[in-house]
Structure 1
Amino acid sequence: MSDNVETSVIALIAEAAETEPGKITRETELSELEIDSLALTEIVMEIEDQHDIEIDLNTAEAWETLKTVGDLVDMVKKLIADQH
């Protein structure tokens, strides 16, 4: 399941950044992909739908705490684990 989470999050980010998923790693910073707050909000909403979780962050909080792709992946994995 963990790899599926990482793969799906990276795919969503790649789509929003209009780049190839293979060019994105856990260390990739969202800012270097030119992901703005609106795009991040859309990514978060899509992740919530895909994984049936609720990410309780407003856009400003998300922008402050989610700097890298890995930060987002880890948060999603924790929320999924907390549900089970």
Structure 2
Amino acid sequence: MANDIETSTIALIAKAGEIEPGKITRDTELAELEIDSLALTEIVMEIEDQHDIEIDLNTAEAWESLKTVGDMVDMVKKLAAAQH
């Protein structure tokens, strides 16, 4: 399941940024992908729907903590594990 989360999260980010998924790794910085906050919000909403989780990104600190694709994947994995 963990790899599924990583793969699906990368696929969503790639789709939003119109980038080949193969060019995105855990170390890829979200800022590098030029994904704005609106697109990131849409990605988060899709992730929530896919994994039946709730991601609280209402605070500036939460947004600041998402620097890389790996940060986002780890957050989703943690929330999904807590849900099950």
TM tier, shorter chain? over 0.9
CA displacement, residues 27-67 of structure 1 (integer Å, 9 cap, x when unaligned): 00000000110011000000000000000112734421100
Structure 1 vs Structure 2 CA RMSD: 1.1
Structure 1 spans left out of the alignment, 5+ residues? none
1:55 partner letter? I
Q: 1:25·1:70 contact (CA, 8 Å) conserved in 2?
A: yes
Q: Tell me the percent identity.
A: 83
Post-superposition shift, 1:15? Answer: 0.4
Q: Separation in 1 of the partners of 2:35 and 2:8?
A: 17
Q: Separation in 2 of the partners of 1:59 and 1:68?
A: 18
Q: 2:9·2:47 contact (CA, 8 Å) conserved in 1?
A: yes
Indicate the larger mover: 44-53 or 59-68.
Answer: 59-68
Structure 2 spans left out of the alignment, 5+ residues? none
Quote the residue 1:2 is aligned against: 2
Residue 74 (1) aligns with residue 74 (2): yes
What TM-score, normalized to structure 2? Answer: 0.95
What TM-score, normalized to structure 1? Answer: 0.95
**Equivalent pairs, count:** 84
